[in-house]
Structure 1
Amino acid sequence: MNAATAARPRLATQGYFASHWRSLDYFNLYRLTLTMALVFTGVLFGASEMFTEGAGERFQAYAFAYLVVAALFVLGIRARWPGFQVQLTTHIVADIIFTVLLMGTSQRLADGMGLLLVVSIASGGLVGSGRLTLLYASIASIALLLQHSLSILGYSPTNSSYFQVGLLCTGYFAIGWLAHTLTQRALRSETLAQQQAEELALLNRINALAIENSPDGLLAVSGDGIVRHASPRALALLGVTTPVVPGRTRLEACSPELARLARQLSPDATPTLNAPNGPLRVRCIPLATADGSRVLVLEDQSLAAQAAQRLKLAALGRLTANIAHEIRNPLSAISHAAQLLSEDTHDPTQVKLTGIIENNARRLDRLVEEVLTLNRRDRLKPTSVNHAALSALIAELQQAEAIPADRISVNLDERLHFQFDPDHLRQILWNLLRNAWRVCSKNPGCIQIRLHQQAELALLEIQDDGTGVPPEHQSKLFEPFFTTDAQGTGLGLFLARELAEANHAVLAYVPGAWGARFRLSLYGST
């Protein structure tokens, strides 16, 4: 037998399972016990008046042969060969043959030995799932009638009549029919139980996947504060780093504040918990169990705020895009008319007024362009950006903003390159460079641009030597229409972050000891 055969499951016959083979093994164990008892009976009483002359030796020989055959059946069951139904039929036929042979050795034991076949037929029906049960009853009845007829023809004394034998044969069929009926009912129940078990297992897998992928954290807690289940999301939201053992870990060990809150939490209340990773809204769902178990649902408030922000921005984007298209044409006409007026007049007051019109028209045009760029952020055409391309882009923006060359210190790792949409990168750097130039000291080296590698990330940083961003404004930096510049639109940093996210990068403000530092984190390679 090779390794593949040895590793094969012990299910050898289609339609039969390990439970069938186990039942057949128990049935054969009964047979081994019975045959050993018969062997001892022959040894102890073979010379008694229970047997006629020479019959005791035959009884011992039949009983010993019966024991050897039962022992051989053990090998077949272990090997699962031949098939289950073949082995079961062989077992029943062997029982019938040896029982009839043993009955013929002693008329005093014949009636009792015939009753042993009832056990074999019933066991065969139960073990074999009701298959061929009536056939076994038929074979046993025929064998019993033949044995009784041979006894009469051989002029052997007998205590039984055909009527008694017929009653015993009728009992065989009754037991066979009953075993068949009970087995079929048990099989239907077993099939139904197996289907329900499979459905329950599927439902458990679905529930496990739903819990693991839920944006909310779920904690099942008993009435005495023992954690019965904790989803990975719940542990992450609570900032729990120690292992949680279901059924042993107490809620106080995970979050004392949540444990205190849970003791006085009603199903209708939704208080807020200040967790290490941000505020959480807590809901309680009672499980209606005897021990007062309940499920605590932890909702990340930041996710809800982000979802609301996305909805607001989506609606705002659609609105502003429509307005921007309607504004651009009359805005161009206003700007053109202001230029014509400034050319046809020498009145200083009128020249000043037309200049104000032109400046504000350009400001509105820039606002319209930023809004349209925001709505085109998903139209990506990424290319590989290396040291040379980034240096050329910085020089171009420096010239566009009229920044002297010595005011910017550039330190770029020549080995790094990354994928980015060039128009999006130009827009991001333009916004950051313009803001830095507006707030810096205008001294040489007042703006520093650095590209370096950290782990698998390429970090592009722009830092100025200004006063920095006040702490109360840092959380609002990337909100739309937030600005501290009277001439600003409030969309520059918001647009820069949106374009960075569209290119799978992250734009963030890095608090420092001096000035303002913005970092663009993206996946780069050398």
Structure 2
Amino acid sequence: MPTSTYPSQTKHSIFWPFHSKLASADYTGQYWCSLYYFNIYRILLGSSLLISVWKFELTSFGSHHYTLFLYAGLSHVVCSCISLLLIKLRTPGFSWQLAIQVICDIVFFTIMLHASGGLQSGLGAILLISLAAAGLISRGRLALFFASIATISLLLQETYSLLTVNYYSAQYSQAGLLSMAYFAVAWLAHQLAKHTLASEQLAKERGIDLANMSQVNQLVIQDLQEGVLVVDKHGVIRQHNSYADKLLDLRSSANDTKSLKLSDYAPDIAERLKRWQGDSKMNFDLLRLTHSHALVRTRFLPIQADFSNGVVVFLEDMGRIQAQLQQLKLAAVGRLTANIAHEIRNPLSAINHAAELLEEEQQENHTNPRLVHIICDNTRRLNKIVQDVLQLNRRNIPKPDILESHDFIKKFLEEFCDVEKIDRDVFVFQNTNKYLVSFDRDHLAQILWNLCRNAWRHCRKQAGSVLIELSTTTNGHNVCLNIIDDGPGVDPQQVKEIFEPFFTTADGGTGLGLYVARELCETNQSSLDYIEDSSSGHFRIILSCSEPCR
């Protein structure tokens, strides 16, 4: 058997539904609105008939019984007005009100039909409009029932006129044709209502599917591990996901997303968007966000080709990708360090021991002391490289402590200058507040040691050559630790390479100091960057506060 096109469509009875569960359906405002306009039509129709008979004295209406016609017309208008009030009160129920109103039309128009001399007055055709409207309003539930009542009333009127009016010729053939028209109109209204219900059901199902798809899309967007911004053509952020809140701190900026202007809260991204709209093939470097200091890659996707509906901005957090790469890198470094410990350190120990023996016997064997020193120096250099590489494998086990930054840095500088034999006046520490930061104590000491050693190597080695200062970020949730020396700074062509392993410009350097320092920062949920807009050497560490900075 063929299945229904709309399997979920509710089937309604076209006869009397008051005792079924369908009668208790929750009618929407659309049903009541249709019933309201139907009553407006009834009032206008009844008033027009009364005015046409009373004012213009048309002989075709009320020709048989003028007073009865006026009383019937007036009663019809009064009932219509009362029905209009009951619709506002919505009592009794919708089906009862519709049935009462249509039956009142049938009764009063049948009386006026009798008062006008029967079917030749033409009033019987008026019921066609009422039956059609009632069938459409009720969605076909009562259409044939109303047609049956109208047919019975029409036949009873003809029979009553035949029995009570002298010389009246009953027109049953015309009554039968008009009754067939009643049923035809009712059936057409029923069919039209059935298709209307099917269309409404289909539209409802499509609406539900669309709402579900919208919810799924919203969940997917909210769960994306990258920020998503929807920006209109005026540069206003219309929508954003939770990850964008985290990256740009939008939630604390404004409660109303319509008031968020991209240029106010993310000017760097707004500038990139403007440039991209001029040239959609333009590629951008990674961007360090001001609020969260996260390193992101920006991508722009127009909603329409002409940008009229705005742009979707994707902020891909490179920190998450770097964390995944770091896991792979740590596994490789672990295997490398294990091989280094067994394959390189043991020969280095033997070479170093042999060099020491040569140094003790150099006078007896007339060995050149310079060659012995070269062997020892390079052995120590290789051993330091091994120690630095071994340290990489231990960086994934941070033990964060709550450190008071001012006291920690002050004690560190004293220890560093004492061990490295450096004048304490070379380092100037500026800080007026005490910030509590969460960081591994040993890791922070190693990072500062590498950075301060670099600063000492490249500065002018005068009093105040190296400046160390603490300040808060714009969002007040992080601390900036700046290490600035008065040296020439890093060559712009080498800025992208200074954090690469084994890259060095210093004689005798291992090229792992800055690399290890950045790795340790990332392990402790911090960042280390070189500030290029400075005329001297300037490194900045962004530390996480354990409580809001003040």
Query: Could you say which TM-score interval applies, normalised by the shorter chain?
Result: 0.7 to 0.9
Query: How far does the alpha carbon of each residue in 1:376-396 deviate from its partner, in whole angstroms, 9 at most, with x for none?
Result: 17x463534342233334434
Residue type of the alignment partner of 1:34: L
Query: How far does the alpha carbon of each residue in 1:88-112 deviate from its partner, in whole angstroms, 9 at most, with x for none?
Result: 2222122112112222323245762
- How far 1:36 moved relative to its partner? 1.0
Residue type of the alignment partner of 1:517: H
Residue type of the alignment partner of 2:373: K
> In structure 1, which of residues 502, 508, 512 is the aligned counterpart of residue 529 of structure 2?
508
Q: Is the 8 Å Cα contact of residues 102 and 146 (structure 2) preserved in structure 1?
A: yes
- Tell me which residue corresponds to 1:426: 445
Distance 1:295 1:74 in 2: 46
- Tell me which residue corresponds to 1:341: 354
- Tell me which residue corresponds to 1:520: 541
1:111 to 1:370, Cα distance in 2 relative to 1, 3 A: farther
Query: How far does the alpha carbon of each residue in 1:435-481 deviate from its partner, in whole angstroms, 9 at most, with x for none?
Result: 11222333344333222345424221222233322232234333343
Distance 1:383 1:188 in 2: 67
Distance 1:464 1:396 in 2: 19
Residue type of the alignment partner of 2:383: R
5 Å-filtered alignment, 1:60-71, equals 60-71=70-81
- Tell me which residue corresponds to 1:32: 43
Distance 1:20 1:229 in 2: 43
- Tell me which residue corresponds to 1:361: 382
Q: Is the 8 Å Cα contact of residues 385 and 417 (structure 1) preserved in structure 2?
A: yes
- How far 1:523 moved relative to its partner? 4.7
1:398 to 1:515, Cα distance in 2 relative to 1, 3 A: same
- How far 1:66 moved relative to its partner? 0.9
- Tell me which residue corresponds to 1:6: none
- Determine if the alignment matches structure 1 residue 321 to structure 2 residue 334: yes
1:217 to 1:97, Cα distance in 2 relative to 1, 3 A: closer
Residue 107 of structure 1 aligns to a residue in which SS?
coil
Q: Is the 8 Å Cα contact of residues 107 and 159 (structure 1) preserved in structure 2?
A: no
Distance 1:240 1:105 in 2: 77
1:231 to 1:204, Cα distance in 2 relative to 1, 3 A: farther
Query: How far does the alpha carbon of each residue in 1:489-520 deviate from its partner, in whole angstroms, 9 at most, with x for none?
Result: 33322332343344443322235776412122
Q: Is the 8 Å Cα contact of residues 237 and 262 (structure 2) preserved in structure 1?
A: no
Higher RCO structure, 1 or 2 (CA under 8 Å, sep 6+) = 2
Residue 452 of structure 1 aligns to a residue in which SS?
strand
- Tell me which residue corresponds to 1:223: none
- Determine if the alignment matches structure 1 residue 42 to structure 2 residue 53: yes
1:489 to 1:14, Cα distance in 2 relative to 1, 3 A: farther
1:445 to 1:277, Cα distance in 2 relative to 1, 3 A: closer
Q: Is the 8 Å Cα contact of residues 486 and 536 (structure 2) preserved in structure 1?
A: yes
Q: Is the 8 Å Cα contact of residues 24 and 88 (structure 1) preserved in structure 2?
A: yes
Instruction: Give the alignment's Cα RMSD to 1 decimal.
Output: 4.7
> In structure 2, which of residues 130, 136, 140 is the aligned counterpart of residue 130 of structure 1?
140
- How far 1:359 moved relative to its partner? 0.6
- Tell me which residue corresponds to 1:448: 467
Residue type of the alignment partner of 1:179: A
Residue 385 of structure 2 aligns to a residue in which SS?
helix
Query: How far does the alpha carbon of each residue in 1:114-144 deviate from its partner, in whole angstroms, 9 at most, with x for none?
Result: 2222221111111111112122122222333
Distance 2:440 2:411 in 1: 15
> In structure 1, which of residues 497, 501, 511 is the aligned counterpart of residue 518 of structure 2?
497
- Tell me which residue corresponds to 2:344: 331
Task: Single out whichever of 321-330 and 307-316 deviates more from structure 2.
Answer: 307-316
- How far 1:189 moved relative to its partner? 2.1
Q: Is the 8 Å Cα contact of residues 32 and 87 (structure 2) preserved in structure 1?
A: yes
Residue 540 of structure 2 aligns to a residue in which SS?
strand
- How far 1:306 moved relative to its partner? 9.4
- How far 1:284 moved relative to its partner? 11
1:93 to 1:286, Cα distance in 2 relative to 1, 3 A: closer
- Tell me which residue corresponds to 2:177: 167
- Tell me which residue corresponds to 1:405: 424
> In structure 1, which of residues 170, 177, 181 is the aligned counterpart of residue 191 of structure 2?
181
Stretches of structure 1 that go unaligned for 5 or more consecutive residues are 1-12, 221-226, 234-238, 243-252, 263-270
- How far 1:299 moved relative to its partner? 10
- Tell me which residue corresponds to 1:437: 456
Distance 1:105 1:344 in 2: 141
> In structure 1, which of residues 372, 376, 399 is the aligned counterpart of residue 393 of structure 2?
372
- Tell me which residue corresponds to 1:5: none
Residue type of the alignment partner of 2:376: G
- What is the aligned length? 476
Query: How far does the alpha carbon of each residue in 1:187-212 deviate from its partner, in whole angstroms, 9 at most, with x for none?
Result: 21233234445555776788899999
Residue 422 of structure 2 aligns to a residue in which SS?
coil
Q: Is the 8 Å Cα contact of residues 162 and 170 (structure 2) preserved in structure 1?
A: no
Distance 1:332 1:293 in 2: 62
1:505 to 1:360, Cα distance in 2 relative to 1, 3 A: closer
- Tell me which residue corresponds to 1:10: none
Residue 403 of structure 1 aligns to a residue in which SS?
coil
Residue type of the alignment partner of 1:347: E
> In structure 2, which of residues 13, 34, 44 is the aligned counterpart of residue 23 of structure 1?
34
Task: Single out whichever of 275-284 and 97-106 deviates more from structure 2.
Answer: 275-284
Residue 410 of structure 1 aligns to a residue in which SS?
strand
Residue 104 of structure 1 aligns to a residue in which SS?
helix
Q: Is the 8 Å Cα contact of residues 53 and 62 (structure 2) preserved in structure 1?
A: no
5 Å-filtered alignment, 1:228-267, equals none
Residue type of the alignment partner of 1:337: A
> In structure 1, which of residues 368, 371, 381 is the aligned counterpart of residue 400 of structure 2?
381
Q: If the length of structure 2 is used for normalisation, what is the TM-score?
A: 0.71
- How far 1:35 moved relative to its partner? 0.4
Query: How far does the alpha carbon of each residue in 1:291-350 deviate from its partner, in whole angstroms, 9 at most, with x for none?
Result: x999999999x9799999888776555433321122123334234434543565513458
Q: If the length of structure 1 is used for normalisation, what is the TM-score?
A: 0.73
Distance 2:497 2:374 in 1: 35
1:388 to 1:486, Cα distance in 2 relative to 1, 3 A: same
Residue type of the alignment partner of 2:410: S
Residue 458 of structure 1 aligns to a residue in which SS?
strand
1:158 to 1:117, Cα distance in 2 relative to 1, 3 A: farther
- How far 1:367 moved relative to its partner? 3.0
- Determine if the alignment matches structure 1 residue 469 to structure 2 residue 527: no
Distance 2:193 2:533 in 1: 80
